[in-house]
Structure 1
Amino acid sequence: MKIAVIGAKGLPPEEGGIEHHCAEIYPRMVAQGHSVDLFARSFYTRMPAFRQYDFKGVRVISLPCPKVGGSDVIISSALGAMLTAGDYDIVHFHALGPSLFSWLTRMISPAKVVVTCHGLDWQRAKWGKLARLSILLGEKIAVSSAHEMVVVSGALQSYFINNYSRDSAYIPNAPASYPASDTKFTWTSSLGLERGRYMVFLGRLVPEKCPDLLIKAFQSLQKSGWKLVLVGGDDSPTFKAKLLSLANNNPNILFTGPLLGAHLAEIVRGSGLFVLPSDIEGLPMAMLEAMAEGVPILASDILPHRQLLGQNRGVLFRKGDVNSCIEKLDWAIHNTQEIQKFAEQAKIYVSANYNWEQITNKFIDLYNRISTKPLTVPTSTLTSLYADQVKSATLRESALGTKYLEADS
């Protein structure tokens, strides 16, 4: 089977859940005898346009794509869709923004189209009105154009049923395996951190992940001996400045920037608590990875988090509620033995239910199932449908204004 992949920035993965997702499943497909082309973005690959290279058997094709606002998504996805006119069996779009061009693949290629929704990206605060409209339009086109839609959480599955009466296949993510790290925690100690006496936030420093709420809650605790470490890059200098202002030069709050490899593994493994206060998530791989490492988890009570941490696998606080976060943080750092029991249950649960080998096989089964189905929507209908979806998405965006819909509403 010949597969094209559109939507990932590139491989190997640096930051980003989609890139890590692709790095796990597509080399496994190649190992089973399939052929995979992944259309990447030149600013990410740092290679000239149309240069090709190999990543664990996956052919990565670097498309011309400067990083200017969100234009890289549009440019790379449009070019990738145009290049699917070849002899592909499956064209797989990852994320709603790139799916804006799934209709084009339907028009020019005999391949079956699959779209994976990793989250409702148009809800993210970093996007302006035009970008949100484009992503929302991508969502609507994906619903209409894809032969099969895939979602990574039960909350997203409910969203597409409730809003579009569209069935989807639920195939979750799984945790990446951390590399070996220093068992003496030398590097972590050099940062002034004591093993088991600090909490970690891991993710991009963006408003929807709510690191500001966590900083406020931590500042209110003033617990001697505990520190807060925020790991991740930032998309907005303005928001990063806000976080630094909230931290107010507190020596117990550290910003490490993005971490990879052994340093990331060491700082997560040494933490006493992993905290994810997000308002919006698909199925957070960072949390899955911490659970797989046996690190206790505290998170906001959005549906994807409840799916992972239910039945005493972690601690939840009310989404967006600083006082609730303070209360649960205080309980967690005073009940370390109990939350460690939660962490042990979480580790067993992740091992049993979130496995990349199983996930890869589910995708191959899905590809095999739809590859035998004939195309049912004629080109003329798709062209008309695209125009209708542009109008519909514009009207919906106008009605929404600045009020975001929640995936778990």
Structure 2
Amino acid sequence: MKPPIKPRRRRGAGRPLKVMMLGLRGLPRVQGGVERHVEELALRLARSGCSVEILARGPYVERKEPHRWRGLVVTPLPSPRTRSLEAVVHTFVGVVHAARRGPDILHIHAVGPSLLVPFARALGLRVVVTHHGFDYERAKWGRLARVALKLGEWVGMRFADRRIAVSRVIARTMNTRYDVLVAAVPNGVTPQPQPSSVTALRQFGLTRRRYIITVSRLVPEKRHLDLIEAFAHGAPDGWHLAIVGAADHEDTYSRMVLAAADATPGVIATGFQSGLALRELMAHAGLFVLPSSHEGLPIALLEALAEGLPVIASDIPANREIGLPDDCYFPVGDIPALTAAIAQSCASFRTDAQREATRALVGRDYDWDVIAEEVRAVYETISLDQSSEMIPGTLTPLPHPLP
């Protein structure tokens, strides 16, 4: 017989804040911006004294039983590995699991999983939602999926106890669209000493500072085909292009990218990389390019800046928010402009002092330690001793409101 759903309990004096996170595929070593965000955030919340449990999707994690990883509890739950169903099914199972365990905070990430916020609230859970980006704008989704994602955004913004957005652009849009308070708390980086090892470079036949890199999943909004075409026409002799990442679900687009990479001299598709191999590939590159048409606040771009790399990015609002010089941006989809930008950047010399200045700047403005403190401050604004009423739009001001 299954145990009954536990009512939300009062948090006793001195008891750690108990947080569950839901909406990601899993961790560690699972590709994706939401996954990286949750990993960095959860580790710091745990170090600050919170009890943090990650509700992962079973097919994406190596260990299928609940286990501990670096101070976090990782609980794999059932999830069909189909693009249209996995998020909503896993979120439903995760909400039921959370209701039985009774965390102080259920933190749901992304607008798709936010579709279940009213269900979580009805079960007595305190819910914080983080909006990572306008997922319904992604090219991979059909009409029905886009409607479901927009509905997820609406119910998440209207019925969550607290709301966070990873960029000021998203926070302003949500405030205007739904007339709700949203805390703008960005993604971050953790600058580290650059690795001296070049094992990954040797593996893929790359030469230090003589290759362009892009890091992302193989999905249409990342526009890898634009980059491959621009590289073929704009990169100087002796340079390579490393496409780092893989598809969660192999499809026509991912096969087209791999075929184009194979057919274009100098292009290397490395597949998904993590850990030291990824750090080596990022740290020793000569240029980072992000030609995407959709982002929330791109962690890969921030991490490239944290390595001191010169960067080129599409001029979408999420990339513009980072505040790079104008010559770092090009009109999204404009392949001749991207070709010219690549040629100019590859021909320029970037000193070690310039790289260090970039590293220091991004490390100051996008510090994960500060970000974790801001997220915890949002948690603490929720009174865990009061009843949870599903009345949207009546929340008290947040400690880090939209500037």
Q: 2:11 aligns to what?
A: none
Name which of 337, 340, 348 aligns with 1:327.
340
Instruction: Output the amino acid matched with 1:208.
Output: E
Q: Cα–Cα, structure 1 residues 65 and 224, in superposed 2: closer, same or farther, change >3 Å?
A: same
Q: Distance in 2 between matches of 1:215 and 1:7?
A: 32
Q: 1:28 aligns to what?
A: 44
Deviations 1:141-183 (A, max 9, x none): 10111111101111111221232223210111112566874x2
SS in structure 1 of the partner of residue 381 of structure 2: helix
For residue 275 of structure 1, report the CA deviation from its aligned partner.
Answer: 0.4
Q: 1:206 aligns to what?
A: 219
More RCO (CA 8 Å, sep 6+): 2
Instruction: Output the amino acid matched with 2:231.
Output: F
Q: 2:243 aligns to what?
A: 230
5 Å matches for 1:359-374? Answer: 359-371=371-383, 374=386
Deviations 1:59-82 (A, max 9, x none): 222212231223121111001112
Residue 258 of structure 2 is aligned to residue 258 of structure 1: no
Counting helix residues as a fraction of each chain, which structure ranks higher?
1
Residue 80 of structure 2 is aligned to residue 66 of structure 1: yes
Instruction: Output the amino acid matched with 1:371.
Output: S
For residue 243 of structure 1, report the CA deviation from its aligned partner.
Answer: 2.4
Q: Is the 8 A contact 1:296 1:342 kept in 2?
A: no
Q: 1:291 aligns to what?
A: 305
Q: Is the 8 A contact 2:261 2:269 kept in 1?
A: no
Residue 137 of structure 2 is aligned to residue 123 of structure 1: yes
5 Å matches for 1:255-404? Answer: 255-311=269-325, 315-337=328-350, 343-371=355-383, 374=386, 377-378=389-390
Deviations 1:59-115 (A, max 9, x none): 222212231223121111001112232432211101111111111111111x32110
For residue 366 of structure 1, report the CA deviation from its aligned partner.
Answer: 0.9
Q: Is the 8 A contact 1:152 1:282 kept in 2?
A: yes
Q: Is the 8 A contact 2:190 2:363 kept in 1?
A: no
Name which of 179, 198, 204 aligns with 1:165.
179
Q: Distance in 1 between matches of 2:374 and 2:382?
A: 12
Q: Is the 8 A contact 1:178 1:265 kept in 2?
A: no
Q: Is the 8 A contact 1:179 1:261 kept in 2?
A: no
Deviations 1:248-293 (A, max 9, x none): 6233111111111222111111110000011111111111111111
For residue 47 of structure 1, report the CA deviation from its aligned partner.
Answer: 4.4
For residue 203 of structure 1, report the CA deviation from its aligned partner.
Answer: 0.6
Q: Is the 8 A contact 1:175 1:286 kept in 2?
A: no
5 Å matches for 1:46-61? Answer: 46-48=62-64, 51-61=65-75
Q: Distance in 1 between matches of 2:367 and 2:279?
A: 19
Deviations 1:19-70 (A, max 9, x none): 222222223222232222222111122444xx32112222222212231223
TM-score scaled to structure 1, two decimals? 0.85
Q: Cα–Cα, structure 1 residues 39 and 376, in superposed 2: closer, same or farther, change >3 Å?
A: closer
Q: Which deviates more, 92-101 or 185-194?
A: 185-194
Residue 112 of structure 2 is aligned to residue 91 of structure 1: no
Q: Distance in 2 between matches of 1:344 and 1:178?
A: 12
For residue 220 of structure 1, report the CA deviation from its aligned partner.
Answer: 1.8
Q: 2:5 aligns to what?
A: none
Instruction: Output the amino acid matched with 2:233.
Output: S
Task: Give unmatched runs, 5+ long, in structure 2.
Answer: 1-16, 393-403
Q: Distance in 1 between matches of 2:229 and 2:257?
A: 9
Residue 162 of structure 2 is aligned to residue 148 of structure 1: yes
For residue 211 of structure 1, report the CA deviation from its aligned partner.
Answer: 0.8
Q: Cα–Cα, structure 1 residues 222 and 265, in superposed 2: closer, same or farther, change >3 Å?
A: closer
Instruction: Output the amino acid matched with 1:358.
Output: V
Q: Is the 8 A contact 2:243 2:268 kept in 1?
A: yes
Q: 1:402 aligns to what?
A: none
Q: 1:401 aligns to what?
A: none
Q: Cα–Cα, structure 1 residues 34 and 222, in superposed 2: closer, same or farther, change >3 Å?
A: closer
Residue 209 of structure 2 is aligned to residue 196 of structure 1: yes
Q: Distance in 2 between matches of 1:115 and 1:272?
A: 37
Instruction: Output the amino acid matched with 1:229.
Output: A
- Across the aligned residues of Structure 1 and Structure 2, the Cα RMSD in angstroms comes to 2.3
Q: Distance in 1 between matches of 2:259 and 2:108?
A: 39
Q: Is the 8 A contact 1:300 1:317 kept in 2?
A: yes
Instruction: Output the amino acid matched with 2:341.
Output: K
Q: Cα–Cα, structure 1 residues 304 and 69, in superposed 2: closer, same or farther, change >3 Å?
A: closer
Q: Cα–Cα, structure 1 residues 342 and 298, in superposed 2: closer, same or farther, change >3 Å?
A: farther
Q: Cα–Cα, structure 1 residues 341 and 209, in superposed 2: closer, same or farther, change >3 Å?
A: farther
TM-score scaled to structure 2, two decimals? 0.86
For residue 7 of structure 1, report the CA deviation from its aligned partner.
Answer: 0.8
Q: 2:400 aligns to what?
A: none
Instruction: Output the amino acid matched with 1:365.
Output: A
Instruction: Output the amino acid matched with 1:39.
Output: L
Residue 26 of structure 2 is aligned to residue 10 of structure 1: yes
